[in-house]
Amino acid sequence: MRTTLAFSPDWLAAGRAPLGPFVDAWAGWLGDPGFGDDWLKMSGVYFGLGRDPASDLRAQAAAPYTGWAGFNYTNGLPRGELKDVLVRCARNDVRAVMNGPQVLDLYDEVDQIVPLKGKRWVIAHINTFSKRDIERIVRMGLVLTTHTNNYLYKGLHVTAQRLPPERHDEIVPLRSLLDAGVTVSLATDNVPISLFLPIAQTIERRSFQSGERVAPKQALSRAEALRCATANGAYLTFDEDKKGSLQAGRLADLAVLSADPLTVAEAGIASTSALMTMVGGKVVHETANWLG
């Protein structure tokens, strides 16, 4: 497995030390292209918005965090401090990775001081964006990753009930984002892990609760959904010249699938699986009789 990890700081461990020198020290190994190789590398820093590290520690004590995602629990900072850290990151070409549309205003404030265009800062777990939000995303050159297992499936009905029907096109507006030239990479958040569920969800946009399609005009074609799951993921990690497509001179990573996602019945996309997986030209997974 090829892995690109965002660093997760433990601000509580930093104590009262000035945070600026920490960011300056990160530049040597977190600035893109990050420290590592084609198998494992570091790229950027994950931040939590508007939280005090001490509060995070109390939350950890109440519900111990296993660390399965590799994140320190105390990665959050109050908004004012976080803005200063983000500006320092931008000046050092260390990109930020943060969750949710609520960070868009903060990114915009940083962009007014240090332009973010070309730095590929990330907003993950996207749910709702207005037309104006998308315009700002384009201006800053942000890269987005989804959590469609929640926002386009399990929790889709919750958001649809919260918003009036005329605003349903703002719910994970993938059609509008792609048409505006935004790079969106699909993700699973490991619930469950198969990427073919997000692929299906971006095509179907069907609520788990009601079975109804929500804002079908925002649906992607099958080819677009596959591109978001492959080539756009490579762009997210600054690897678009190495992986994400099958071309001469690129890494020989491929899978033989149980069905053709371009032609299989729509209901069968989510259950597609890999019969054989090759990484770097080496077979690392195969099912019995997959050639037959």
C-alpha–C-alpha distance, residues 128 and 107, integer Å:
16
Q: Per the domain annotation, does 230 fall within a domain?
A: yes
216-253, pLDDT tens digit by residue? 999 999 999 999 999 999 999 999 999 999 999 999 99
3-state secondary structure of 261: coil
Q: Per the domain annotation, does 59 fall within a domain?
A: yes
C-alpha–C-alpha distance, residues 185 and 229, integer Å:
6
Domain hosting 197: range is: 3-246
Q: Per the domain annotation, does 277 fall within a domain?
A: no
Distances (CA, A) of 128 to 92, 123, 278: 30, 12, 36
Residue 27 has pLDDT above 60, yes or no: yes
Share of the chain above pLDDT 90, in %: 76
Q: Per the domain annotation, does 221 fall within a domain?
A: yes
Q: Per the domain annotation, does 275 fall within a domain?
A: no
42-72, pLDDT tens digit by residue? 999 999 887 666 666 666 666 665 555 567 7
pLDDT at 4: 92
Q: Per the domain annotation, does 114 fall within a domain?
A: yes
Mean pLDDT of 5-11: 88
DSSP 129: -
Q: Per the domain annotation, does 158 fall within a domain?
A: yes
249-273, pLDDT tens digit by residue? 999 999 999 999 999 999 999 999 9
118-177, pLDDT tens digit by residue? 999 999 999 999 999 999 999 999 999 999 999 999 999 999 999 999 999 999 999 999
Q: Which residues contact 76 (CB under 8 A, 6 or more apart)?
A: 11, 47, 48, 49, 50, 51, 52, 53, 55, 56, 82
C-alpha–C-alpha distance, residues 186 and 221, integer Å:
14
Q: Per the domain annotation, does 280 fall within a domain?
A: no
Residue 117 belongs to a domain with what CATH number?
3.20.20.140
Report the number of distinct structural domains present in the chain.
1
- For residue 22, give the amino acid letter: F
